[in-house]
């Protein structure tokens, strides 16, 4: 069964770049679309963006100017970079499988990584 | 963006009683080409990631107890817990996966009365 695990710094300074890695195990990253979703403390869920193994990406317009998602198929990993962070970017960041399935049809997010809390503070 | 609005924000129900959560989308999530509602429900317990519970508005994910049911079409949807159990205490989110960007409701907190 596929499992996802986020990793990266838990503390980032304002104006710097938040960088996270998602390691996928139990399945090839080549078969699906992969997304990042975040959840500020005590708040709701926000989709950040997705990537396909082909390199095709799409980002939430609310974050598009600051977000880059990339992939390393040889390592079964994908990555999130969010630049110029502020306190409003403090959140639990989840990597998830989904947006489209392997055939290109829209699908829900499943499964989810455990999430990693990133705090933006000086 | 498609706005997903859940009601209520929280509810307290006695053990064994019915709990009902509503979700309304600002645009239809019924896709005419396949007549499917692109609506999912997730359960999130404290300190855990959301877990997919229901998709296509009414299809339970494997392992989800049958006391959970989803209904609705178009813009109005409902998640029902027919007989609330202690382990059902959680946050529940609806999400549309037809339109870009994907969007979630604000969440509904279910507690024991």
Question: Is a pLDDT exceeding 90 seen at residue A60?
Answer: yes
Rg from Cα positions in chain A: 14
pLDDT at A103 over 90: no
Q: Does A5 touch chain B (CB under 8 A)?
A: no
- Residue B105 in contact with partner chain A when CB distance is under 8 A: yes
> Cα–Cα distance between B59 and A39 in angstroms, integer?
25
Q: At A77, list the tokens.
A: 């990993």
For residue A99, is pLDDT > 90? no
Q: How many CB atoms lie within 10 A of CB A69?
A: 23
With a CB cutoff of 8 Å and minimum separation 6, the contacts of A19 are: A8, A9, A79, A80, A81, A82
Specify the DSSP element, H or E, that contains A79. strand A77-82
User: Å from B61 to nearest chain A CA?
Assistant: 10
Q: Hey, are the CB atoms on A58 and B100 less than 8 Å from each other? A: yes
Which residues on A lie below 8 Å from B48 (Cβ)? 114
Predicted confidence band of residue B3 (pLDDT cuts 50, 70, 90): very high
Q: What is the pLDDT of residue A31?
A: 81
pLDDT above 90 (res B62): yes
A114: left (phi over 0), alpha (psi -120 to 50) or beta: alpha
Q: For chain A, what's the residue count? A: 122
- Rounded to an integer, the average pLDDT of B57-81 is 98
Taking only the tens place, the pLDDT of each residue in B7-59 is 999 999 999 999 999 999 999 999 999 999 999 999 999 999 999 999 999 99
For A77, phi then psi, to 5°, come to -130, 150
DSSP 8-state secondary structure symbol assigned to residue A73: T
């Amino acid at each position: 069964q596929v499992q996802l695990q986020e990793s990266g710094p838990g503390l980032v300074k304002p104006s710097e770049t938040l960088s996270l890695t998602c390691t996928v195990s139990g399945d090839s990253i080549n078969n699906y679309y992969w997304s990042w979703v975040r959840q500020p403390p005590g708040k709701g869920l926000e989709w950040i963006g997705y990537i396909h193994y082909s390199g095709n990406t799409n980002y939430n317009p609310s974050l598009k100017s600051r977000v880059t998602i990339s992939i390393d198929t040889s390592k079964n990993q994908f990555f999130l970079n969010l630049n110029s962070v502020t306190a409003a970017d403090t959140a639990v960041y989840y990597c998830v499988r989904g947006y489209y399935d392997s055939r290109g049809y829209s699908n829900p997010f499943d499964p989810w990584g455990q999430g990693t809390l990133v705090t933006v503070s000086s | 963006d498609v706005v997903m609005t859940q009601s209520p924000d929280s509810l307290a129900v006695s053990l064994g009683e019915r709990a009902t959560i509503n979700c309304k989308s600002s645009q239809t999530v019924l896709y005419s080409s396949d007549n499917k509602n692109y609506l999912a429900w997730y359960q999130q317990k404290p300190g855990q990631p959301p877990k997919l519970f229901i998709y296509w508005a009414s299809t339970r994910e494997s392992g989800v107890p049958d006391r959970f049911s989803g209904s609705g079409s178009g813009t109005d949807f409902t998640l029902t817990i027919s007989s609330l159990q202690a382990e059902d205490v959680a946050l529940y989110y609806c999400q549309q996966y037809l339109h870009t960007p994907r969007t979630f409701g604000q969440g509904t907190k279910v507690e024991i009365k």
